[in-house]
Structure 1
């Protein structure tokens, strides 16, 4: 993951590009830092389900069941909220629901280890809050280590949980990858209230990387927004019955990108890269995600 961060830090913003592009790179850099530094968030799952969402699903029985798990772990949801007073209540409701799915998906041993790690992280945050101080280097390293230890468990249950929050079906991971690339990170995040999860996969090869994001067709990734401007001027075309929008690195002078839209299934996938992947390579990656 350090290579991805380093690659983003090395992205130079040409003088002739306007402030919208600068903002786009800044947003990308901030997102990469956020993914690599869980610090003292409640749990890695909270880094995946971003603060401030307001969603419900599956009926009240899920929340009731999860509340008992929260109570077993922390005494009550209110106790947990006291440790994180700046976080919105909706976040804790989502954690409630995610723990139900975690318990149903993981083995008993895995779930016990996952919740043990969660409790350790919360205890550390509570201690720092009581002492009104920032974490020491040792504490920060441990919190990051906890996040890494939790991630394999979350990779098992978060796709199931997030799929229940989405109106579109998640695709598979790419079955085609450019030579040398490996998956280094996956997440299932909700960026804004009222939106649905975004499925994100990061791949790297040395200091080069690319990222794919699947999301509801009428939502926008940061990189698609006008502030970033990457997809404002694209080469649009149809291939295999799908709509593509392409931006070359030469054209944008910072990142390359390709977007595929699947309107009949209600989603799109956006690929961005710092590498000089050809349009054909990016097409293969995206098509391998959606074609049988």
Structure 2
């Protein structure tokens, strides 16, 4: 068999991008660094007890007393282990990467759901992204952005996009076709159908995608400790490199606490939206009069 070297062309392409698009990478670096520093400042400027109180209030809103008690005790444990700043560094990177990943994945998922041709292009790209080894994402990020929190955030962003795109496309494609046809029959435009019908009905699937984006982002941030991202990833890597079981275990426990908190919070938000939708009144609209609420359905059936 002839030898085929695909590594050299890829390396040459990376060098070419680095030389010709340096201003673009500098701009991305500045934006990511700015947002990460802003979120980190908001999380670390107040005293830890203030932030813990906010987290506990969010937990109470999401799942009442049980989850609130867990959140309070868990984050007090993180602070007692001396990992508060490291945990907030990881949380800042996760939040920034998740927001940017969701901002990219939802429009791409909508595009793929509304176009079979776009879906046929997006699907193999997502397959490639999800099967690529996690550590490979760090290599171009380090080449383009150096070391630190920014390459970790960029690698996390790219790594976490795939489930958001997939579940957004799935949610929109599984919306009842008869509901969409009814909206068409009443003269709704495509943008109105997307905004008023498809996105609300697909919201549980979209929120599941956001949840998965969060979980993947958190797992990637731990691995990104290898490129100087700091946070809990650095604690875990320090424990591995020094064969220090205690340090690694404490970092792992803090990661688990963040994962449980973010997972339960996002899933509770989706559940609350579903409950509000089920409780919404199904009476006549403002354009109908009493006794004629079923007339649109009869007109649609006649059509």
TM-score (norm 2): 0.27
Return the structure number with greater helix share.
2
TM-score (norm 1): 0.28
Return the structure number with greater strand share.
1
